[in-house]
Amino acid sequence: MSDKATQMTMTTPALASDAGVFDQLNREANGILAELLPQKLLEAPKGGKPFVIGSDEVLPEIVSAMDLYYNILTVTGATAAGMPDGAQTIDKAIEMGVESRLCNAVRCAMYYLYSPLMPMPDAIVTTNSPCDAVDTLGIMMDNYKPWAHVPKFHLDAPHGREEEDFVYFGKQLKEMVLFLEKATGRKLDLGRFLALCEESNRQGALLAEFQELKRAVPCPVDPDWARRGFRLSRWIPPGRPEVTDILRRLVAATEERVKAKQGMDGVDEKIRFLWWDVSPVWAGKLFPRLATELGAVCLMDYYSYAAPWTVIDTTSEESALRTFGKRYLIDTPMTRQAMHGADFWIEDALRIVKEFRLDAVVMPCHIGHKDLNAFPKIARDACREAGIPFLFLGCDVWDERYMPPDKVFETMKTFFQSVGLA
């Protein structure tokens, strides 16, 4: 794939303020994020490590400490949907006969699952989280005939968010470790595992710090850096000092811009809004235009909001796994929003609006997110009560053909005008 295509796939086009140091950070980040490209999955066996495939992200620190090659099939599918030929991949997956309302990221994942080029994994880990689509993908992986003999482990993520839920999930993670040890012959190196957790904690602290900096008005840098930071920290095999270094420089450079009261160059910030769903793969055709033409900045979405706030307790393996359980259940984007009740989801939105001084809530309501089907009226009513302008879209974050970015732009423009923000 060409550099240009990689650039398009891995990040939204950076806004003008990301010059100089941010250009450098962007280049370094893209270099690392290229590891998520789908072709890497097909090259998995070449690494000589046991190959474990999972339906969701689960715990990168564990598989890294066991020196396993781990692929998150959903992330591969989502990345494929964002490639220049993403629409073709979606169409090919549809031809395979999947039900029409399945999330297109998972459709693409399924396309890779059934691809004849797909390497045979040494173990499979599936989970019921975060949403019905990923759960469905897990069922497909479990029932894929050529993989019938591959050892499988299924994690049961509870819908609760109290201590007993974290303990419950932590125990399952311990069972998963034992399963992986048996299936791959690799042992969990406790020292290496805890060292990776420490590095992961350092990255989490930096991501949380960057999050706060987005409170500044005007927003000092492209807010999407939070999402990029998350992907670097959680989707790439963790514990890499170069990722920590990128995040450290990102925070330092952003702090300088806050002190100088600098906003994004070329953006006269007038509107700050919450995009309360996954950022679309076609964001590059929407958000920069909204920012430059209307001064409307997307401050937050699912993946640029959640950060690994929970510090992994490295006192022991048990404490580490329990705190990982907490991090997974309430800090992980999508899991946080899709696994818990409507009240939790809307309270997050209302708090973000207040803390980050946002002017409006946009509910894209990605068509594949069936967990959101009951939420639009709840969200509208709650926003109305709080005096926050609210817009419902109903788009497909993975396939721009469903509601083209130009159409979304015009709808949002009309909305901002009609509520007196533009």
Partner 1 sequence: MNVLDAYLERVYALVEEMRERAALVRVYQAPGIPGTGDLPGASDALARLTEGLPIRVGPGASPGLILRSDTFLELGSPEAGSCSLLLATDTTRLVHDGRVTLVGPEVGESAGGSLPFGQVLMLRGAGLGEKDLDELQRLLVVAGQIEGYMVRSAPGNVWSRVSQEAAAKGFSFATLGRALRALVMSGSPAVEAVEVLFVTSGKADLVPLEAAAQQVRKIAREGTRERWKVKGYDIDCANDCSACGDKPVCDDIRSVLKERQHIDESPGGTHAT
Using CA atoms, how far apart are residues 290 and 409, in angstroms rounded to an integer? Answer: 7
Using the minimum distance from each CB to partner 1, give the nearer residue, 309 or 402.
309
In this structure, are residues 93 and 106 in contact, taking their beta carbons and an 8 Å threshold? no
Using the minimum distance from each CB to partner 1, give the nearer residue, 150 or 177.
150
The number of CA neighbours under 13 Å toward the Cβ of 232 is 31
SS3 state at 356: coil
Using the minimum distance from each CB to partner 1, give the nearer residue, 258 or 372.
258
DSSP string, 44-100: GGGG-S-EEEESS---HHHHHHTT-EEEEHHHHHHHHHTSTTHHHHHHHHHHT---T
Q: Minimum Å distance from CB 121 to partner 1?
A: 15
Stretch that binds partner 1, among 34-42, 57-65, 228-236, 308-316 (CB under 8 A): 308-316
Indicate whether 183 belongs to the interface with partner 1 (CB under 8 A).
Answer: no
What are 390's strand-pairing partners?
361
Q: What are the b/e assignments for 119-146, b being 16+ CB within 10 Å? A: bebbbbbbbbbbbbbbbbbbebbeeeee
Which string of x and - marks every residue 346-385 that binds partner 1 (by CB under 8 A)?
-xx-xxx-xxxx--------------------x--x----
Q: Number of residues interacting with partner 1: please give it, by CB under 8 A.
A: 38
What are 126's strand-pairing partners?
154
Indicate whether 185 belongs to the interface with partner 1 (CB under 8 A).
Answer: no
**Backbone Cα Rg of the chain:** 21
Which string of x and - marks every residue 152-181 that binds partner 1 (by CB under 8 A)?
----x-xx--xx------------------
Q: Minimum Å distance from CB 393 to partner 1?
A: 21
DSSP string, 243-309: HHHHHHHHHHHHHHHHHTT---TT----EEEEE-SPPPTTGGGTHHHIIIII-EEEEE-HHHH----
Which string of x and - marks every residue 328-347 that binds partner 1 (by CB under 8 A)?
--x----------xxx---x
Indicate whether 392 belongs to the interface with partner 1 (CB under 8 A).
Answer: no
Q: Minimum Å distance from CB 130 to partner 1?
A: 13
Using the minimum distance from each CB to partner 1, give the nearer residue, 76 or 323.
323
Using the minimum distance from each CB to partner 1, give the nearer residue, 71 or 211.
211
Sequence-ordered alpha helix ranges (H) in 70-189: 73-81, 86-95, 104-113, 132-142, 163-184
Indicate whether 145 belongs to the interface with partner 1 (CB under 8 A).
Answer: yes
Indicate whether 208 belongs to the interface with partner 1 (CB under 8 A).
Answer: yes
The number of CA neighbours under 13 Å toward the Cβ of 354 is 9
In sequence order, what are the residues at sequence separation of 6 or more whose Cβ sits closer than 8 angstroms to the Cβ of residue 418? none
In this structure, are residues 185 and 50 in contact, taking their beta carbons and an 8 Å threshold? yes
Phi first, then psi: what are they for 201, rounded to 5°? -65, -40
Using CA atoms, how far apart are residues 183 and 28, in angstroms rounded to an integer? Answer: 35
Q: Minimum Å distance from CB 341 to partner 1?
A: 5
Q: Minimum Å distance from CB 409 to partner 1?
A: 28
Indicate whether 215 belongs to the interface with partner 1 (CB under 8 A).
Answer: yes
Q: Minimum Å distance from CB 311 to partner 1?
A: 4
Indicate whether 259 belongs to the interface with partner 1 (CB under 8 A).
Answer: yes
Using the minimum distance from each CB to partner 1, give the nearer residue, 51 or 210.
210
Binding site for partner 1 (CB under 8 A): 145, 148-149, 156, 158-159, 162-163, 208-209, 211-213, 215-217, 255, 258-259, 307, 309-311, 330, 341-343, 347-348, 350-352, 354-357, 378, 381
